[in-house]
Amino acid sequence: MYTSIVFLPFLGASLSGLFGRSLGVKGVYIINNICLLVTTFLSFIAFYEVILCNSPVSIELFSWINSEHLKVSWSFYFDELTVSMLIPVLIVSLLVHIYSIGYMGEDPHQQRFFSYISLFTGLMLILVTGNNFLVMFVGWEGVGVCSYLLVHFWYTRIAAVKSGMNAMFTNRIGDYFLTIGFFVIFFTFGTLDYATVFSLAPYINNNVITFIIMLLLIGAAAKSAQLGLHIWLPFAMEGKFKYWLFTIYLYESLLFYYKSSAAFLYNNKTKKCKKDDLYFNNKPISNDNRLMDAIIGDLLGDGHIQIWSLKKGVSGRMGFTFSVKNLPYLEYLKNNIYKEICTNAKPTPWPNPKTGKIITQYWFGTKSIPLFVKLHKEWYERVNDKYIKKIPLNIDKLLKPRGLAHWIMGDGYWSNNTVIICTDCYTYQEIELLINALINNFDIKSVIKKRIRDNGILCWRIQIEKFDIEKLRNIVIPFMIPDMLYKLNIK
C-alpha cells in the first residue's frame, strides 16, 4: 500500500505521456484523476495506521549506492509528520487536477500537461517520504524540472521560455547551497540517512548544526521564492498553470527536515512518542536517539573506542571482544546498529593471553570522528600513558532501556536464577554509580558481588536479584535479539 502511494502518480504520468494520443483527452482525465484519488484515499489509511495506531512504516526497495564510505538505499519512511504532510499535498494536487480539466479544456496539449502535473505530484511524494537526503534530493530536483516544464508550458512563446529559464537559474542558486549542505552533513556524520543524522545531531557542535540548517534553509528559500530569491515567481505566472500552489506545499514539505533537525538539536521533549518508545511508571522514555543509547550500553560492556592523531587529522575506531557464543550479537551490531557510521570490518579470532580461550575481536573504523572524539573524552582518562575507560558521573542520565539491553547482551549472563553483569574494569565507586542508575532509572534493586580472579586481582559483578528479574525482562526484551534472550533464561 505504501509503495502504491508513492508510485501511482507516476503510473498516471507515464500513461498520459506515452499513450496520450491513444487514450484521448477523456482517457487521460480518468486515468490521472483515478490514480490520484486512490493515492489520496491510501494516504488517509496511512494516516490512521501511522498516527492513530502508532505504527511508523519503513520500506527499503533496493541498495542504490554501496561504496566503502557511502551507503545509500532507495527507501521511504512514513512517520507522523510524513503522513500528515501527504494529506494536504495530495488534496491540493487532486483539486488542481480537477480544476485543470475545465481550465485547460481548450488547450490542444492537455495530455502533455496532465503528464507534467502527475509527474510533479509523484516527485513531491518522493521528496516528502524519502528516508535519506539523497532520495529527497532526487524528488527535489525532479520537482525543479517539472516546474520548469510547467512554467514555460507554452514553449512557443518567448515570454514563457524566458520565465522558465529565470525560474531554473534562480533555483540553481538554492540547489548550490543545498548540495553544499549535503556535503557538510556527510563530512560531519559519515552518512546521509535521516535516522542516523538526527540521532547524532544533539552530540555535534551547535555551530556546525546551525551552519547545516542555514544551507538547507537557503535551498528552501530559493525553491519557494522567499525574500531575496523571489525574483522568478512573478514571471512564473506567464504559464497557464498557477505554479504558486505547488511552491506553498513544497516549502512546507522541506520545513519537515528543518523542524526535525531543530527538534533533535534542542531535544524537543513534547514530541509524540513512537511505537518503539517504552513507557515506565506511566512516563514515556524517548528512544529518538537509538544509536546513542546503543553506544552507551556497548561502552558499559566490552565496547572500546580508540582515537589517534594523524598528519591529516584525527582517526578513530570502535571495537568489541566477544566469545564465540556472542557472535550473533556481533553480527547484529555490524549489520543493524553501526552500519551507517562505520566502515566494514571482519571478526578476527584471537586467543585470550590470560585463559588461552579463543575469543573474537571486531574493530571497525568510524566515519563520525567528531562524535567518537567527544565520546572518547567523556569515557576515557589518561593514566601512565594509557587510556583507561571510566564511567561518566552522569551515567544515570545516559543509560536508557535500549542501552541496558545492549549492556546485558554484550556483558551479561544467567547464573543461579539471577542475571549477572560483568564489570571487570571498573572501580568500586564506578560500580556504585551504575547501581544508582539502575535503581533511579528502572527501580531495579542490585547488589555488588565480589569475586577473586585466578591472578588474585579483585573484580566486581552487578547482580540483579531474583525479585527484579521479571521487571528487568519487561524493560529490555523489546530491544534484544532472539539469540541473546538466553541471558535472561528465555529459550
pLDDT one-digit tens code per residue, 424-436:
778 888 888 898 8
Q: Which residues pair with 309 in a beta bridge?
A: 314
Q: Please say whether the beta carbons of 439 and 400 come within 8 A.
A: no
Coil vs helix vs strand at 231? coil
pLDDT at 25: 78
For the chain, what are the domain ranges?
A: 2-265, 290-488
Instruction: Give the rounded distance of the alpha carbon of 53 from its chain centre.
Output: 21
Q: Please say whether the beta carbons of 299 and 389 come within 8 A.
A: yes
pLDDT means over runs of 10, the chain (491 residues): 85 83 81 87 88 80 79 84 84 83 72 84 87 86 78 66 70 81 85 78 78 82 62 54 41 43 37 34 43 87 78 69 78 79 70 68 75 82 82 88 91 86 82 88 80 66 86 89 88 76
Pick from 370, 380, 320: which is nearest to 345 by CA? 320
Pick from 322, 273, 250, 280: which is nearest to 85 by CA? 250
pLDDT at 237: 54
Helix (H) or strand (E) holding 309: strand 303-310
pLDDT at 255: 46
Q: Please say whether the beta carbons of 451 and 460 come within 8 A.
A: yes
pLDDT at 270: 35
pLDDT at 406: 92
So what's the architecture of 290-488 in CATH? Roll (3.10)
pTM: 0.56
